[in-house]
With several copies, the nearest count.
Chain A
Amino acid sequence: MTDLEDLYREIILDHYRSPRNSGELETPPAHRAEGFNPLCGDEIVVYLLVADDGTIADIKIGGQGCSISQSSASMMSAAVKGKTVAQVRDLMKSFKGLMSIAADGAELAEPSPSEIRELGDLAALRGVVKFPTRIKCATLSWNTLDQALAELDA
């Protein structure tokens, strides 16, 4: 059962039970993006408000899903708030590095200690890598955020 406890760290369960930044924002001025996991039906809605100086002024999360997708979304919202879009993209890269398994089955290089520090609570999701089918749960909110940022750019 150690694997399971590694997956469901206390901090993950805490974000799941008390999700941060849950709710909606008025659109416009905020932007809304919706993502879902075709395998299981989990849905995430991201409301994003980017200030004129390019920082994330506010973010809210809606939708429903499992503890991993919900806690990941909650941690993400806490982590990106106040950051610039460029910083968010860096964080996204570190997080995906943490989650990903390279295509040929070899694990990617572990994120560096400074990247881990940067990830904060999100680093608790590291245990997910041992459960490949759950990686999509953990990355769903990030992919939705990515989509929201891409739509803002367009």
Chain B
Amino acid sequence: MTKAPDFAALKKDFPILHTERNGRPLVFLDSAASSQRPTQVLDAMDWMYNHAYANVHRGVYGLAEAATNAYESARLKVARFIGSPDSSEVIFTKNATEALNLVARSWGGANLGDGDAIVLTTMEHHANIVPWQMMAAERGFEIRWIPLGENGQLDLTDLDVLLDGAKMLSVTSMSNVLGTITPLDRLISAAHAAGAKVCIDACQSVPHMRTRVDEMGADFVAFSGHKMLGPTGIGVLWGRHELLEEMPPFLGGGGMISNVTTEGFMPDAVPSKFEAGTPPIVEAVGLGAAIDYLEAIGMDHIRQHEIELTSYALRTLSERLGQAITIHGLSEPAQRGGVMSITLDGVHAHDVSQVLDGYAVAVRPGHHCAKPLMRELGVNATARASFYLYNDTSDVDVLADALIEAHRFFAT
């Protein structure tokens, strides 16, 4: 590891973190929903719009070439960032949800039918549930569920039984509600041993820890740009070249064909085959700039920073709120991400978030698009605080102050 950066100094790169709400400095604790972004990312996008913008791929004039190079360089950056040796394995989508739908419809459509089975976990985000349910309703395959066990971890007792005969395991790398880091090594090897492919919803891990698809062994990995300092409007699907090659196209249109007649069309090679229409060009370049920013800090440093912050938060909140607070999930910071779902005794999550907003503390209440998990946890909403590289212990202190106020306001 290179020298740890001065995390406190990074905050200056994020103008929004210097805004105020109700006369207090903003404490942004909702990066699990979407991160903020540094000036460098906005500058890269503005620069492209102002100096090197044109539609990509089909132009021969200078601007079009510059734009195409910028877009394809972003693809190379993403590939390198996640450890893919082959940048044609990187497909740009509009968000992680589209990436997961692409796998469910294109791979699923070609491989799943009546009598087949896939395995999900009850910890999944709706984005990794609903696309499979839609296909299951159409094709009649079975969905099996890995249940929740103790402390917000998956219960893997019946893993081999569940995987028996299954063709796909689609699983999150980190819960967006509990922060649980799932045991991917074990899950992937068990799935492959059973002959199933593996799709990883890596939305919550790619922004926060080093990702190496070449070491991981998964078949598909999906994530979003807006949770990793990138702009909205861009997501990524990484897939094994040979699988992508075999799969039918997902959306049809310009840019994904090699020929079209009134009789039919021939798809182009990957990744174009899966990128119909004008892609999110400038968003890809923004994501590339976000990756530059993250790499300059170092993903291992970011992970270390978040472990320390989570550790401080778990300790501070329990000490200061005692019985009044429940923090769901694992208590060991190194085994979880910087995502904490909180229940405050006698105060509904909505009201927690509302009162906290009065103190300029942004936390998200609700089911976090994980209703099956909420059901297993036996709650209908939690207030979720989540950290990123720009947060520090002072944010945690303000969070604790505000939670104490919220508790006082409602409990007395």
A interface residues with partner B (beta carbon < 8 Å): 1, 3-4, 7-8, 13, 16, 36, 38-43, 64-70, 103-105, 131-134, 137
Chain B contacts of A42 at CB under 8 A? 350, 380-381
* 18 residue pairs bridging A and B, Cβ less than 8 Å apart: A3-B22, A8-B351, A36-B258, A38-B257, A40-B349, A40-B350, A41-B371, A42-B350, A65-B380, A68-B351, A69-B350, A70-B348, A105-B76, A131-B60, A133-B65, A133-B68, A134-B60, A134-B354
Residue among A7, A36, A67 with the highest chain B CB neighbour number at 10 A:
A67
- Which residue on chain B has the smallest CB distance to residue A134? B60
Indicate whether A3 sits within 8 Å of B358 (C-beta atoms), given known contacts A40-B58, A67-B410: yes
Enumerate B332-383 residues with CB–CB distance to A below 8 Å: 348-351, 354-355, 358, 365-367, 371, 374, 380-381
Q: How far is the CA of A3 from the CA of B62 in the complex (A)?
A: 12
Question: In the assembled complex, which residues on chain B have CB atoms less than 8 Å from the CB atom of A40?
Answer: 58, 349-350, 365-367, 381
Q: Which residue of chain B has its CB nearest to the CB of A105?
A: B73
The chain A residue sitting closest to B409, CB to CB, is: A8
For the residues of B in contact with A, the DSSP-based class is helix
CA distance A105 to B80 in the complex (A): 13
Task: For residue B357, give the distance in angstroms from its CB to the closest CB of chain A.
Answer: 8
Give residues in B with beta carbon < 8 Å to A: 22, 57-60, 64-65, 68-69, 73, 76, 87, 257-259, 268, 272, 348-351, 354-355, 358, 365-367, 371, 374, 380-381, 409-410
User: Which residues of A sit under 8 angstroms from B259, Cβ to Cβ?
Assistant: 36, 38
How far is it, in angstroms, between the C-alpha of A16 and the C-alpha of B412 when the chains are bound? 12
Q: Given the interface contacts A39-B57, A65-B348, does A131 sit within 8 Å of B87 by beta carbon?
A: no
CA A94 – CA B60 in complex, angstroms?
A: 25
Q: Is the interface of A mostly helix, strand, loop or mixed?
A: mixed
> Quick one: given A8-B409, A67-B410, A105-B73, are A38 and B268 in contact (CB under 8 Å)?
yes
Q: Check A4–B354 contact: CB distance below 8 A.
A: yes
In the bound assembly, the distance between CA atoms of A37 and B195 in angstroms comes to: 38
Q: Which of B68, B258, B272, B381 has the most CB of A within 10 A?
A: B381
Say how far A145's CB is from chain B's closest CB, in angstroms: 18
CB pair A132 B380 closer than 8 Å: no
Would A103 and B87 count as touching, CB distance under 8 A?
A: yes
Cα A131 to Cα B358 in complex, Å, equals 12
Quick check: A4 and B59 within 8 Å, CB to CB? no
B253 to chain A, nearest CB (A): 13
Set B87, B257, B348, B409: member contacting A66, Cβ < 8 A:
B348
Q: In the complex, what residues of A have CB within 8 A of residue B374's CB?
A: 41
B348: chain A residues within 8 A (beta carbon) = 65-67, 70
A42 → chain B, closest Cβ, in Å? 7
* Apart from A8-B351, A103-B87, 18 more pairs, CB < 8 Å: A4-B358, A13-B410, A36-B258, A40-B349, A40-B366, A40-B367, A41-B371, A42-B380, A42-B381, A65-B350, A66-B349, A66-B350, A67-B351, A67-B410, A105-B73, A105-B76, A132-B65, A132-B68
